Amino acid sequence: SHFVWQDLDPVGFLWDFKDRIYHVDCKDAKRQVGNGRNGRLGSHLAWADPRRGWDFVSTGHGDVPWEASFRMLNTIGYDGPISVEWEDAGMDRLVGAPEALEFVRRLAFDAPSASFDAAFSTKD
């Protein structure tokens, strides 16, 4: 989430720091900039204030590229813990937290056991 509002690439970070990742925390953020009214530095405003430049939202409802992130985790061989950190001032937590957990569980798919090209091999 923090990468998103700072315009950093979370997927590139996973690749660049693959040997130093020991825990993945799933938290989402939504940018609300580029409309000529909200700036990134408007974070002094209360959470869920429409004038903020960004806000935390329930995982899966923001701008984090989740599928690409989980695919990269498979690519780098990550098999450590994954948690959901839930924050969303505009959604009831009893609805949002279970929904976020289910969203992450759907994306936490296993890496393939063989290369894609192996299925087309002509060698027996």
Give the residue with greater pLDDT, 9 vs 7. Answer: 9
Whether pLDDT at 6 is above 90 = no
pTM, two decimals, is 0.85
In 3D space, the residue among 8, 18, 2 whose CA is nearest the CA of residue 80 turns out to be: 18
Categorize the per-residue pLDDT at 36 as very low, low, confident or very high, splitting at 50, 70 and 90.
low
- The residues spanned by each domain of the chain are 2-110
Are the C-beta atoms of 42 and 67 separated by less than 8 Å?
no
Phi and psi of 30, rounded to 5°? -120, 125
What is the tens place of the pLDDT at every residue in 37-77? Answer: 777 776 678 888 888 888 999 999 999 999 999 999 999 99
> What is the per-residue pLDDT across 68-121, written as a single tens digit (0 to 9) for each?
999 999 999 999 999 999 999 999 999 999 999 999 999 998 878 877 777 777
Residues near 9 by beta carbon (within 8 Å), at least 6 away in sequence: 3
What is the CATH code for 2-110? Answer: 3.20.20.150
- DSSP string over the chain: -HHHHTT--HHHHHHHTGGG---EEE-EEEE--SSSS--TTGGGSPTT-TTSSEEEE-TTSSS--HHHHHHHHHHTT--S-EEE----TTS-HHHHHHHHHHHHHHH-PPPPSS-GGGGG----
